[in-house]
Structure 1
């Protein structure tokens, strides 16, 4: 995976019964942005739930509608081989690269904390 050029936590959403932080990531050499969903883990860090490819144009889809087919799950495609086996080293390296970019880890912590308080 190429280096990350930019990453920012956009929002928190509920996926099933789990709160997930939505982090928009721009990877060098990739035309489309990735959206990486993180949830709190048991070890006081974050699990990478899934990676979506964002195939939208901000000039056309300015309202950031995540309800259409412009968001495609590419988690398997990025980290699995032809046999469907996930390669954990590249997956974990990418996860850590996203979390370590700027203040993304802190943004996630704050936004998930705020969302938990609103939920109560």
Structure 2
């Protein structure tokens, strides 16, 4: 899976820990739009902790629509099932996002 575009969106606080949210466009056929969540590690790097598919359709998702799941956690299906990517691919995908212009700098400023 290749990153086509990435944009830092915001910092979220989950359980007292800050996470950087990055919107990612990919070449993945089923989930081309994703939200990647990074946290700072003890060695001044960033770990990709969650990957959420972003299938929001604002015509139907502007209200609580139980018939459509706009955001789905795809971390495990993409990175740990036997017929999908491995842990090395997860690290490579995270590196692609962090190498996109402005992403690492935005995380440095905000986390």
- Class of the TM-score when normalised by the shorter of the 2 chains: 0.7 to 0.9
- Separation in 1, partners of 2:55, 2:28: 15
Q: Which has more helix, going by share of residues? A: 1
For residues 1-120 of structure 1, the aligned pairs below 5 Å read: 1=1, 3-30=2-29, 32-58=32-58, 61=61, 69-82=69-82, 87-112=86-111
Deviation at 1:29, TM superposition (A): 4.5
The alignment's C-alpha RMSD in Å is 2.4
Rate the CA distance shift 1:29–1:12 in 2: closer, same or farther, 3 A: same
- Give the secondary structure class of the aligned counterpart of 1:49: strand
- Separation in 2, partners of 1:102, 1:78: 24
- Separation in 1, partners of 2:78, 2:91: 12
- Give the secondary structure class of the aligned counterpart of 2:43: coil
Deviation at 1:110, TM superposition (A): 1.4
- Separation in 2, partners of 1:15, 1:104: 20
- Separation in 2, partners of 1:107, 1:59: 31
Rate the CA distance shift 1:89–1:82 in 2: closer, same or farther, 3 A: closer
Deviation at 1:34, TM superposition (A): 0.6
- Separation in 2, partners of 1:60, 1:49: 28
- Separation in 2, partners of 1:61, 1:100: 31
Paired residues, number: 105
